[in-house]
Structure 1
Amino acid sequence: MSRTSVLALRLAGPLQSWGASSRFTRRTTESAPTKSGVIGLLAAAAGIERGDDTRLAPLAALRFAVRMDQPGTRIRDFHTAHHAVTGASMPLSERFYLADAVFVAAVEGDHALLTGLRDALRTPVYPPYLGRRSCPPSEPVDLGLYEEARLEDVMASVPWQASPWYRRRHQAPQTLTVLRETAADESTATADVLRDQPVSFDAAHRRHALRTVVTDPVSTPIPSDGTSPQKAHDPFAALDVLEN
């Protein structure tokens, strides 16, 4: 019998964009990473090609959750482009992003599959990005593999991942919001239904099915030393001192 484990990810970068219903010249973003976007990140790291639905299926079957550790700010940009052959101007498009956001995402499933995905994140075939190719992560996304764990427990126990500068300027919230895919034996009476279950990433015919999601608050798990576990250099720290 296979073991069930959980692979946790830290999704942080200057910009993120997780579109679920973008069409034509208006490319919106959800307020948190989508399952299709995160599965796409994992598939890219594992070298799964866009039209390879057979290899995609086991990843799509993983149960997914995301925690909003640092909501970020929604911004809008205008995008211009020209036809590669004719040089003609393409239609002006609006593109929306989340700036300075940090999320903890996790997938639950077969231990062997998740072990392979963790290894792929450390040596990816294709580079990971946060919803769009123009949005690279600022740090490695692998937060670790939790053996024989449950998605709910990992979401409640991974230390708060907000950036150091954010932690200095904001008091830690009492709770964090978790958007969690329902378990097979769980009631869906209060769940939301989203068309965000990846079926195919084939560029010619992308397909998504429905999945059910519940919103849970969890107590903010502050690191034992009271600091962010990510000790990246903040080049603007000196400016904060001058302001004070």
Structure 2
Amino acid sequence: MPGILIHLSAPLQSFGEHSAFTERDTHPRPTRSALIGLIAAALGRSREADLFDLRSLRFTIRTDRPGVRLVDFHTVGGGLPRERTVPSANGDRKKEETATVVTKRHYLSDAAFTVAVDGDTATIAMVTDALRAPQWPLYLGRRACPPAGPLLVAAGLDDAGAALAAFPLHRSRPYGATTVVVDVAHDQPPTDGHLARHRLVDDPVSFDAYQRAWQARTEYVTTLTLPAELCAGLGTSWIEALTTARGRETAA
């Protein structure tokens, strides 16, 4: 099945899976909702647009760096006149002196993921073109989290999932190590590997602001042992490795 590789790295990323009210969580890796939403934004689609073709895509996520969990707090509704404060449960507005609401926002700091995207030829070609020239600004879960580098890192692949075993890792090489172990998450049952299953409600049916809906699905997580030589480092070392990898793709 044809596919591409996209790379997600940034100072902050956040992929809510069961966020509610004042507690905004993040999953340890990108959710299907976040990835489909990112592609829909690249295509310039409205929130009301049909997601049928994008929901057919399959994602395999390699965790290059898991990052560090960070919790921040935000305030909402403070300093406003009564008619503009946060609504209360009885349908009224909160009083000015009690209107401020504190929310906790969870982030992944300094994380990096390489994602294989597989689908039918026409859909993959459409997605590839969109990621090369996005219609709207792209972000990693929240608008405050823009990507730190190029998203599309390999295209025209016959098997994007298999390519994850050879594509450079965006991490430093552990001292003295000959191999490294990384987590790989699948949205289809893998054929081998030590398997962990997680039930997530992150498969988007609609992004409509008034009719948002998701379906439950199973996330399958395995581990992959890779040569330590694949660790390309950070900063300019990573950019050089990425340039070399993309050069091989162009030559092919």
Q: Name the TM-score class by shorter chain.
A: 0.7 to 0.9
Corresponding position of 1:230: 239
Residues 4 and 156 in structure 2, CA contact (< 8 A), matched pair in contact too: yes
Alignment of 1:207-222 (within 5 A): 207-220=213-226
The whole-number CA distance in structure 2 between the counterparts of 1:46 and 1:108 is 17
- The answer (yes or no) to whether the contact 2:180–2:227 under 8 Å persists in 1 is no
Question: Over alpha carbons, which structure has the higher Rg?
Answer: 2
Aligned partner (choices 77, 82, 88) of residue 82 of structure 1: 77
Partner Cα distance (1:38, 1:76) in 2 = 22
Kindly provide the amino acid, as one letter, of the partner of residue 63 in structure 1.
R
- Native 8 Å contact 1:157 1:221 kept in 2: no
User: Cα offset for 1:181?
Assistant: 1.4
- Whether contact under 8 Å (1:108, 1:150) holds in the other structure is yes
1:33–1:184 distance in 2 versus 1, CA, 3 Å: closer
Aligned to 1:67: 62
Distance 1:171 1:68, change over 3 A: farther
Question: What's the secondary structure of 1:174's corresponding residue?
Answer: strand
By how many angstroms is 1:103 displaced? 0.6
CA 1:230–1:220: 2 relative to 1, 3 Å: farther
Q: Matched residues, percent identical?
A: 37
Matched-pair contact (CA < 8 Å) for 1:69–1:160: yes
TM-score of the superposed pair, with normalisation by structure 2: 0.77
The RMSD of aligned alpha carbons is 2.8
**Gaps in structure 1 of 5+ consecutive residues:** 233-244
Deviation, 1:65, is 1.5
Q: Could you list the runs of 4 or more consecutive aligned residues of structure 1 that deviate by over 4 angstroms after TM superposition?
A: 83-87, 168-173, 183-186, 221-228
Shift of 1:95: 0.4
Shift of 1:123: 1.2
Q: Map residues 161-180 of structure 1 onto 2, 5 A cutoff.
A: 161-162=170-171, 167=172, 174-180=180-186
1:15·1:97 contact (CA, 8 Å) conserved in 2?
A: yes
Shift of residue 63, structure 1, vs aligned partner: 1.0
Question: 8 Å contact 1:65–1:179 — kept in the other structure?
Answer: yes
Segments of structure 2 that go 5 or more residues without pairing to the other structure are 86-98, 242-252
Number of the residue aligned with 2:17: 20
Q: Taking structure 1 as reference, are residues 184 and 171 closer, same or farther at Cα in structure 2, changes over 3 Å only?
A: closer
Counterpart among 123, 133, 145 of residue 143 in structure 2: 133
One-letter amino acid matched to 1:81: V
Amino acid aligned to 1:75:
L
Contact kept in structure 2, 1:115 and 1:145, CA below 8 Å? no
Deviation at 1:161, TM superposition (A): 2.0
Aligned to 1:48: 45
Query: Contact conserved, 1:178 with 1:215, CA < 8 A, in 2?
Result: yes
Shift of 1:193: 3.0
